[in-house]
Structure 1
Amino acid sequence: MPSETSAVNAAYIEARMKQFKLVDMREQYQELIRVASEQSMTYEDFLIMLLQAEETGKKRRQAERLTDAANFDSDKRLSDIDYRFNPNLDADKIQSLGRLEFMDNHENIIIIGPPGVGKSMIATGIGRNACEAGYKVLFVNAKELVDQLYEDMQKGYLKETLKQISKIPLLIIDELSYLKMDKERESLFFQIIRQRYEKSSLIITTNLPMGRWDELFTGKLAAAAILDRLVHHCHVISITGDSYRVKGPKTEY
């Protein structure tokens, strides 16, 4: 039966860990004390073990919060890619980008290919890696992004919206294919590109080769101005092959 002193000590430990928000230490310290005793740990080693438990837990919870806020439309990861299905995928390049050095260098990624070949899956997988590394990420459909910017402009909120987006280190714009922008929407999209140039990273997925981007915008000059900033520091992944959704397992890409 625990002594009165042990009960007082336990209550104090619980209260202080709760006060200082040491969530994982609070949940694990009794088990870690047992492990330390069995292994005859030094005080220093025991303290390191406690701190590592808290560090691991905080990183996990942060990654979960960032992933929830990113608004991914699937739970796919880079490890889910079936390279045997489509040997045209450059596994080394995709895995290299998944290590996020492109973000350190404020570079962009453009993923081009027909529907169903894995563009969004690759973008999502890289985005999830970024969340796990502690970066804020936003995954958004291209049309929805442009329409939201246009609505915020009409309501007088555009400056605030652009400021919020500028604070996100990785912006993923999915399906830059199924829209035709007017002058105002094109200008808003260009502001996003210009705002992030050499400051933060973009991933764009599209069905259209870059030579046909004038179909998205008001003409070749507008497309060239946007591409000029996008491709200056950019990794391009061009995917060919069959649709995974059509011929592969019943897994959403």
Structure 2
Amino acid sequence: MTQVAARLEELIQDKANDTLTPSSCSSPQSTTQSHVASARCSQAAFPIPGAKVAEVDYRDGSGITPVRKRRYAAHDWRSDATNLLVISPTGGRTTYLACALALAACHSEHSVLYSRTDDLARRLGIARGNGITHQKLLKELSNIDLLIIDDFLTVGIESDAASDLFSILANRKHRLPTMIASQTGPAHWNAELPDGIAADSILKRLANNARIIDLGQIDMRRHCDSKARAHEPYWE
């Protein structure tokens, strides 16, 4: 494991959080703005289109508190280039939280792009066949207000995709934030990237300017399934 990966593991274990929240002084959206936000959410095709920050479970050990929920729901992503890493083993509902934050960002008039790592690598691979299309996609991914990459390096990616990922993260550095949602941590990411130098460069761009939400070891998927089965209208 590189020093960067080791440092990122230390950050993930650090439970210290700020307790301040941004002032809530935004004016209500107009009907037009609301329609635009709804259209933006629909076009994004989030895998959980009904995800809501208010419904994110913040039980002890989950790494998310009411304060953090309010802060991220009202966050101005364009004015803060700090990355966000959401880490949890399978079942921790990282995708739900990512979708909830993405939907809140859309309603705050941010441009958002969500993609799983494998889908993103496939899309980049197809675009690579045409130089103009490839550069256009890299520019889009570099300039979107909030880029969300889910299931980050759950499986390995090819060297060309890793090179594109480095380029995107380098272009966004100090400009715009990237949200990473993953069931694994930096040690696994380092191993799944095909080139050691590229791995170190990518991890630096994620680790050196990042906030961490460690959702802990709670299997929220199982908890929610059990809760649904206990609900009267549920049937199998």
**TM-score range, shorter-chain basis?**
0.7 to 0.9
User: Percent identity, aligned pairs only?
Assistant: 21
Deviations 1:86-114 (A, max 9, x none): 54332133432222145411111011110
* 2:110 matches 1:146: no
Q: Is the 8 A contact 2:62 2:218 kept in 1?
A: no
Unaligned stretches of 5+ residues in structure 1: 1-51
Higher RCO structure, 1 or 2 (CA under 8 Å, sep 6+): 2
Alpha carbons of structure 1 residues 242 and 166: separation in structure 2 relative to 1, 3 Å: same
List aligned pairs for 1:57-136, cutoff 5 A: 57-74=31-48, 75-84=50-59, 87-91=61-65, 92-136=67-111
Residue 155 of structure 2: which of 168, 179, 182 is its match?
179
Stretches of 4+ aligned residues off by more than 3 angstroms: none
1:22 maps to what in 2? none
Structure 2: segments with no counterpart, 5+ residues? 1-26, 230-236
Give the CA RMSD over aligned residues: 2.1
Secondary structure of the structure 1 residue equivalent to 2:128? helix
Partner of 1:30: none
**Greater helix percent: which structure?**
1
Taking structure 2 as the reference length, what is the TM-score of the superposition? 0.76
Shift of 1:83: 2.2
Structure 1 residues 65 and 83: alpha-carbon distance in aligned structure 2, compared to 1, 3 A threshold? same
How far did 1:164 drift?
A: 2.3
How far the C-alpha of 1:118 sits from its partner, in A, is 2.0
Match of 1:190 in 2: 166
**Preserved contact between residue 84 and residue 178 of structure 2 (Cα < 8 Å):** yes
Partner of 1:6: none
Look up the match of 1:215.
191
Question: TM-score, normalising length from structure 1?
Answer: 0.72
- What secondary structure, in the 3-state scheme, does the structure 1 residue paired with 2:86 have? strand
Aligned length: 198
Query: What is the alpha-carbon distance in structure 2 between the residues aligned to residue 114 and residue 93 of structure 1?
Result: 20
User: What is residue 137 of structure 1 aligned with on the other side?
Assistant: 112
Report the Cα distance in structure 2 between the residues aligned to 1:174 and 1:250, rounded to whole angstroms.
25
